[in-house]
Amino acid sequence: MAVLHNRISQQELKQRLMEEPFKRVTISYYQYFPIVNPQEFRDELYKALYPLGVFGRIYVAKEGMNAQISVPEHHFDAFKTYIHGLAHLQGLRLNIAVDDDGKSFWVLKIKVREKIVADGIEDPAFNMENKGKYVNALEMNTLLADPETTVIDMRNHYEYEVGHFENAIEIPSDTFRDQLPMALEALKGKEDKNVVMYCTGGIRCEKASAFMKHNGFKNVYHLEGGVIQYAHQVKENGLESKFIGKNFVFDNRLGERITGDVIAHCHQCGKPCDTHTNCKNDGCHLLFIQCEDCREKYQGCCSKECLDTVDMPLERQKELRKGIDKGRNVFNKSKSRLRPRLNEILGTKPVFGSKDLAPENTDKKIE
């Protein structure tokens, strides 16, 4: 019987990755399509991709699949042939990473989930087929030049912080589930205006565009392939990039540079910096931005408290940090800071109560 799960330690897997004599290609892709038996589909996928040396994470649900993976360069054609040979995936767009060192993943994980994007949508009449219109890089730039166009960033605040489209509106939330109703309420009265939505690779903004149309918005667009595909098209066609800074990615790289602009700041000293890292304290692992000077000063930790305990045994670290509210850290971005800008751009009045404006825990661990 085939082994359908990894049985090797993470440390050994990482070591093997670093010693590989060949190059890897980092790819992301998704597709909304009906899967009758997600577990069976998951197992067949694992049996096909594992022999090809594919690493990364793939989520499978009844509504489709979502993947961020790396493929050995010499197996890329075989991988592409297999994926495009599956029902509903012929001609599937594969987003090739913009800034890739091939060390994005070190193990293959394929998981069955309720949905490939947790959305909180419970209306049985919601239909993903009634989605917004795709736009490419040139069309995106044209829409951005129209003052009547509203551009919505459907990513999390820590993604927006290091890079975004010019004049894009950040919906201040840490979860896509929360963003959908917030975007809907913030855009009330603009049902007949152009609304453009974008995200990293297209999966979130595609569902968001369908949600907006489901709720009466008529002229809804979404960026095909997200920021990743936009960056490729800008380069290939000699266009001006209207996306500035870095594109946050959910793998070991934590970001790929789109333009040379550094629009974020170190969360410890405030100097220009857009390098995300996880706190080196195993009892913390807070995701934050840290410059080289602070990295050396704090040994990769997010605070003096973590620095003081980083060399202790893991269980002792967790014991000392138990009950500490990380929401007090300067690394968290309060919605009270973001909401005034949203009101200013849209000309709306505040619609969220004090509970919604409270700082949230941004403890993110990238595996």
What confidence tier does 96 reach under pLDDT thresholds 50, 70, 90? confident
Catalytic position from the list 199, 266, 301, 306: 199
Q: Is 294 labeled as catalytic in the residue annotation?
A: no
The enclosing H or E element of 243 equals strand 243-247
Does domain 19-112 fall under CATH 3.30.70.100? My reply is yes
Q: What is the mean pLDDT of residues 293-315?
A: 88
Do the beta carbons of residue 334 and residue 358 sit within 8 Å? yes
> Which residue ranges does the chain devote to CATH 3.40.250.10?
133-246+332-346
- Please give the model's pTM, rounded to 2 decimal places: 0.71
Tens digit of each residue's pLDDT (9 = 90 or more) over 57-74: 999 999 999 999 999 999
Structure tokens, 128: 């993903």
Distance of CA 164 to the CA centre of its chain: 13
Backbone Cα Rg of the chain? 21
Do the beta carbons of residue 194 and residue 149 sit within 8 Å? yes
Q: In angstroms, rounded to a whole number, what is the distance separating the alpha carbons of residues 313 and 220?
A: 52
> Please, which residues have CB within 8 angstroms of residue 40's CB and are 6 or more apart in sequence?
none
Which residue from 266, 280, 113, 314 is spatially nearest to 203, judged by alpha carbons?
A: 113
Furthest-apart CA atoms within the chain: distance in Å: 62
What is residue 342's DSSP assignment?
Answer: H
Structure tokens, 130: 């009634």
Where do runs of H (alpha helix) occur along the chain?
Answer: 10-19, 38-49, 76-84, 137-144, 157-162, 176-186, 203-214, 226-237, 292-298, 304-309, 314-321, 335-346
**133-246+332-346, CATH topology level:** Oxidized Rhodanese; domain 1 (3.40.250)
Structure tokens, 319: 């014991």
Q: In angstroms, rounded to a whole number, what is the distance separating the alpha carbons of residues 163 and 170?
A: 11
Q: What is the mean pLDDT of residues 298-305?
A: 91
Tens digit of each residue's pLDDT (9 = 90 or more) over 193-251: 999 999 988 889 999 999 999 999 999 999 998 998 999 899 999 999 999 999 987 76
> Which residue ranges does the chain devote to CATH 3.30.70.100?
19-112
Structure tokens, 114: 């309720």
pLDDT at 323: 61
Percentage of the residues of the chain whose pLDDT score is greater than 70: 84
Tens digit of each residue's pLDDT (9 = 90 or more) over 137-164: 999 999 999 988 999 999 888 899 999 9
